[in-house]
Amino acid sequence: MTHLQNNLQDVHIHLEKGPYTAEWIEQFVREAVSKGIQEIWLLEHCYLFPEFVPMYDDLRRCSGFIDKWLRRKAGRRNLTEFLRLTEEIRGRTYPVKIRFGLEICYLEGKENFLFRQTESLGLDFLVGSIHFAGAFAFDHVPELWQGQDVDSIYRQYFRHAFSLADSGLFDGMAHPDSIGLFGHTPSYPLTGFYDILAGKLAARHMYAEQNSGVYRRCPETAHFGMQPELLSAMKKHGVPLLTASDAHCPEDVGDGIRKLAETL
Ligand SMILES: [Zn+2]
Ligand SMILES: [Zn+2]
């Protein structure tokens, strides 16, 4: 599909560092306008809301690292307030189109829980992410990769990615090959995995993000957007590709979006 330069989108922007107020949203809007972006999709990590925290219990039991991280981060925000904000913003007019959603950690076996927690939220979109390979928090710090079996981590990552697509819970998949952020590669080619993943996303009519966030975090080791081979597989299967910054603050809205759009 073609994405015209005159319809720039940033479909992955986190609100988490500011209050649930129209003033906070307007900072994101101003940044988008200044960068010529017409549409922004605002979201939160699901673990910020207490309603989603029980989903991580098994992971916490398996990993002290994940438990400690969730103790710092999880359950800090109020879902009712978030939903109230979405209603308030929908009642106003802005120079950019705004959508609200959630970035959901997809965890195998938690599909029913996720379905129940999300079915009546009335959000515009749900994007699924793989942030853990089994109980391995692969995208936190590179030191955690020491001594890990890269080949089996990649196999596990793609197994999760396939189930994410098959689950039917999500409108799209975030940063589809973020597993490579610290520069690790398996000893075998990923072509077959890419093809299966793209086929599954297409079958579910899901979009995939062409996301600059991982590169912004790890410019030394991460690829800018998807690996070219994965991008080709997505295009071959006709998966809609949407540009995304993964901004966690207003200044990063639209980061790399034009360059990402050119790859599409
Ligand atoms: Zn993510
Ligand atoms: Zn994100």
Residues 136-180 have pLDDT tens digits of 999 999 999 999 999 999 999 999 999 999 999 999 999 999 999
| Positive/negative CA dihedral, 17, 132, 112, 70 | negative
Which of 3 and 80 is assigned the larger pLDDT? 80
Tokens of 50: 């207490």
Residues 125-147 have pLDDT tens digits of 999 999 999 999 999 999 999 99
- 19 CA → ligand 1 middle, Å: 21
- CA angle at 103 for the pair 101 and 105, rounded to the nearest 5°: 145
Q: Is 227 helix (H, G, I), strand (E, B) or coil?
A: coil
Strands (E), the chain: 9-14, 39-45, 97-105, 125-129, 172-173, 207-211, 241-244
- 241 CA → ligand 2 middle, Å: 16
Residues 233-247 have pLDDT tens digits of 999 999 999 999 999
pTM of the predicted model, to two decimals?
Answer: 0.95
Task: Give the alpha-carbon dihedral of 232, 252, 28, 100, to 10 degrees.
Answer: 40
Task: Give the alpha-carbon dihedral of 139, 56, 98, 6, to 10 degrees.
Answer: 30
pLDDT, residue 6, reads 63
- Structural domain boundaries of the chain? 9-262
- 103 CA → ligand 2 middle, Å: 6
CATH no. for 9-262 = 3.20.20.140
pLDDT, residue 4, reads 45
- 175 CA → ligand 1 middle, Å: 7
Residues 195-245 have pLDDT tens digits of 999 999 999 999 999 999 999 999 999 999 999 999 999 999 999 999 999
Give 133's contacts (C-beta < 8 A, 6+ positions apart). 153, 154, 156, 157, 160, 179
**Cα(225)–Cα(204) distance, integer angstroms:** 22
Give the closest ligand to the alpha carbon of residue 44.
2
Is the pLDDT at 8 greater than 50? The verdict is yes
The mean per-residue pLDDT over the stretch 20-42 comes to 98
Residues with CB under 5 A from ligand 2 (ion): 103, 246
